[in-house]
Structure 1
Amino acid sequence: MRFYLAVAMVCLGACAQTPNLALINSKEFGKNPDLSEPEVSLLPTAKIARAVGFRAGEAPRPAAGWTVNRFAEGLAHPRWLLELPNGDLLVAETDTPQNSGGFDGIKGLVAKVIMRYGGSNRGSADRIRLLRDVDGDGVAERSVKLLEDLHSPFGMAYRDGYLYVANTDALLRFPYQLGEDNVSGPTEHLTDLPALPYNHHWTKSLLFGSTGRHLWVGVGSNSNIAENGMENEEMRAAILQYDIESGELSVYASGLRNPVGMALHPETGGLWTVVNERDELGDQLVPDYLTEVIEDEFYGWPVWYMGGNKDERVLAMGIDNDTRVREPDYALGAHTASLGLDFYDYPHPSVQHAAIIGQRGSWNRSQFAGYKVIAVQFDAGRPKDALPITLLDGFLSEKGQARGRPVGVQVLGDGAIVVADDVAGIVWRLAPAVPTK
């Protein structure tokens, strides 16, 4: 056991010496990505940037015409964000729950070492924190622990005097009055959420539909390619729908390996998500993607990827599916860990109505990819077939170390964008140099 752990650490240490190469490879992005041939090997490529954090006075690099500052810092692994109607910001301080993973034996051990090296799997604070910018200067002067003793919380939603929180295993509801610094009412357990062992993709994201009757819940797969058996994938790799009135939980759309960020497009009202695709098929497979989510549609996982491409590894396990597959709308680069999603609903010459996406960064490729906040431009409610705009980068040092890793993104009511950086423990505020009108 010590031998394998030592081998993993030597490999990771060597990887950390690579220069900053957070790529945007043109063939891996857009509406018609040029897919490479699969490359299957006995051991997956494992290269992750060592988590070191930002030093005092340092910040990631904003795009021209934008500024960035520390909205809040000193946080415990901030991953997800929600702006409340009164302008307060909620942040989920959370991490992998205990006994969660997806791999047994040596592979599982190495996976855990990789996660810790990259800044995760170090224990979860299990809380929701409230941040308040009292004087409007772009910095949160007030920071309070709003909810504690949760279980790897992630998704949050607010409507009609209730705060909804998705633990890794349950959907909860709390009565909450805007502007208060505490939640005094009782906890309501609305429904269990899929969390069977291994609970591989543990995050559960939340979003209200436009009518307020339904909550969508993003639930990732319990494996990479169903190697633990399809019986462990029930109600997973899907966006679920919870009916507030009846309490019914059902599958809204399926075949989405790990749908995390969800948002409604400001022009069309359509539901969109970003999906983390499968690993261990080579540097350039399979691209993560941004797609509109249509009720009852099937997006391919585990058999299919990027439309009509079959994963031969899944077929070799005796799993097949000939259901019609809906092709994703826009490829986001392989292994970029595209997680955060919101739409920019303010006048801006380059990003109005664009999808703002937090890419936490790769581990399963030989050159770093992701580690950015990007904007995918839209026209008439659909993604443009063009490369994304990089809004915020510089999360990788020249030595290939992770000073930060952007996860959740939220467009605020004043036109700024906040970014949860779970390595640095910072919420960054990215704003146009000329305020939106």
Structure 2
Amino acid sequence: MRTPTLPALLIHVPLILALAACAQTENVRTGKAAFAGWQADAPGVRRHIKPSDLPAPPAVTAADAEKSIANPAKIVSQPQGAVPKVPEGFAVQVFATGFKKPRTLRTAPNGDIFLSESDAGRVIVFRPDASGASTKTKVFAENLDRPYGIAFVPAVNPQYVYVAAANQVVRYPYRSGDLKAAGPAEVIINNIPTKRHWTRDLAVSRDGQRLFVSIGSASNLGVAGMPDMTPEQIREHERIHGRGAAWGEEANRAMVRVFDPTGKNVRTYATGLRNCSGMAMQPGTDNLWCVVNERDHLGPNLVPDQMVRVQEGAFYGWPWYYVGSNEDPALKGKRPDLKGNVRVPEVLIQSHSSALSVAFYDHDAFPAEYRGDAFVALHGSHSTPDKTGYKVIRVRMKDGKPTGEYEDFMTGFVLDKDRVWGRPAGVTVTRDGALLVSDDANGTIFRVVRR
């Protein structure tokens, strides 16, 4: 796909209205029904996967750890007349199009929209007009290695924009309304390893004194890059790097790290997160959440992707365990000391859905019951016979805590068992309360509004 020139981005994009093709359902799919593939997807369909619903793992060995069922979807152009499906009462518009792998979307305090155009190595800024449509568009920063995470520091009156590229975290001087970085990139964290997982997201605490960066694993299960260590060596490693921290090729990976705004005091915050691709601070709190891509070698229904509250010092299982004290059979008996010390995720999402980003809804433009819930973009599976993901889901919250349920919000990207025309990647809530969704298959950003 051709990288758009800036003049092309300034062209007004036609409005596309998409009314829901199906009615909301009051039933929640549980048990085996919760694992149904793309044919069961539709706006309003609800699922609740519980740890007790998980099947027994297959008998696999360490030699099987990097194997998975390869079933990549064929990406095709958006068919004429095809539009994403959303719940009744909502409509979808094209906000902008013509990008090379548009991924993370973030809304600046002044309402500008920042986009990581990962394959083009740049960050784009949009300034919506009064109607919410994309008008003024500029390149904020470029010459980056697969930029992904974006954060504004401090949150209320930012002085810097931080960008997490695959290999480093940088920051640019910024004043509200800047459409181009006011100065060159300042390297904050350097030499982040780039093998395999490269999506580095960022989040910032409410007081702006702590920033968080997620760094995914270098492998599926770490068996080739983590030589055995003695219990004494493991204890010494964990003393420095944290409980459950991986080592060898996986050192300082599969974790969330925390640092101060100048890049000093970088340390481990949480471990055992195979690939925390998207992070968000829950509005009004210092609760850090991330959505996690889990391992691929245990069949179509293991291991579920997750949305977890990231707690300091917590261990989430990878590579030895999953969803609590379920031991990965490929690493059987390797770390009995960790059993019982694995934090269980708050929300389990269909395995291999590839959860990439999360945004909380804290506005009034959508119906009142949406306030406080979270939207998660599911990029779509490649290692299961029956496709999962390729949609945006709404994670249901009650009194600030997940109920465990999630609901299909935007679907319709899968054409059949072989072909898809869209892959949701980024989500953000705009200042006027609309939801923006980036589709990196066809380079489009959609805007969802209440009709």
TM bracket (short chain):
0.7 to 0.9
Aligned-partner residue type, residue 364 of structure 1: S
Q: 1:223 aligns with which of 214, 219, 223?
A: 219
Deviations 1:55-101 (A, max 9, x none): 4654211111211111110111101111111111111111xxxxxxx
| Mapping 1:358-437, distance limit 5 Å | 358-386=377-405, 388-398=406-416, 400-433=418-451
Indicate the residue corresponding to 2:6 in structure 1: none
RMSD over aligned CA atoms reads: 2.2
Aligned-partner residue type, residue 332 of structure 1: I
Indicate the residue corresponding to 1:356 in structure 2: 375
* Cα gap change, 1:228 to 1:345, in 2 (>3 Å): same
CA positional deviation for 1:142: 2.1
Q: 2:288 aligns with which of 271, 280, 283?
A: 271
Q: 1:195 aligns with which of 185, 193, 196?
A: 193
CA positional deviation for 1:150: 0.7
Indicate the residue corresponding to 2:134 in structure 1: 140
Unaligned 5+ runs, structure 2? 1-36, 227-247
More displaced, 257-266 or 177-186?
Answer: 177-186
Aligned-partner residue type, residue 379 of structure 2: R
Deviations 1:125-174 (A, max 9, x none): 111111121x2223212222221111111101112321111111111011
Partners of 1:361 and 1:37 in 2: how far apart? 23
Unaligned 5+ runs, structure 1? 1-18, 95-123
Secondary structure in structure 2 of the residue aligned to 1:377: strand
Deviations 1:17-43 (A, max 9, x none): xx963659x998444450012235765
| Mapping 1:64-103, distance limit 5 Å | 64-94=88-118
Indicate the residue corresponding to 1:16 in structure 2: none
Partners of 1:51 and 1:33 in 2: how far apart? 35
Deviations 1:365-396 (A, max 9, x none): 1101111101011111211143x221111111
Aligned-partner residue type, residue 75 of structure 1: F
Aligned-partner residue type, residue 82 of structure 1: R
Partners of 2:307 and 2:139 in 1: how far apart? 33
| Mapping 1:120-269, distance limit 5 Å | 124-133=119-128, 135-159=129-153, 160-192=158-190, 194-195=192-193, 199-230=195-226, 231-245=248-262, 247-266=264-283, 268-269=285-286
Aligned-partner residue type, residue 239 of structure 1: V
CA contact (8 A) 1:28 1:334 kept: no
Identity of aligned residues (%): 35
* Cα gap change, 1:265 to 1:369, in 2 (>3 Å): same
* Cα gap change, 1:281 to 1:402, in 2 (>3 Å): same
CA contact (8 A) 2:204 2:281 kept: no
Partners of 1:146 and 1:233 in 2: how far apart? 33
Aligned pairs, how many? 380
Partners of 1:127 and 1:33 in 2: how far apart? 44
Aligned-partner residue type, residue 105 of structure 2: L
Secondary structure in structure 1 of the residue aligned to 2:134: coil
Secondary structure in structure 2 of the residue aligned to 1:21: helix
* Cα gap change, 1:23 to 1:366, in 2 (>3 Å): farther
* Cα gap change, 1:141 to 1:56, in 2 (>3 Å): farther
CA contact (8 A) 2:38 2:389 kept: no
Deviations 1:286-306 (A, max 9, x none): 100111111001111100001
Partners of 1:233 and 1:411 in 2: how far apart? 34
CA contact (8 A) 1:32 1:330 kept: no
CA contact (8 A) 2:293 2:354 kept: yes
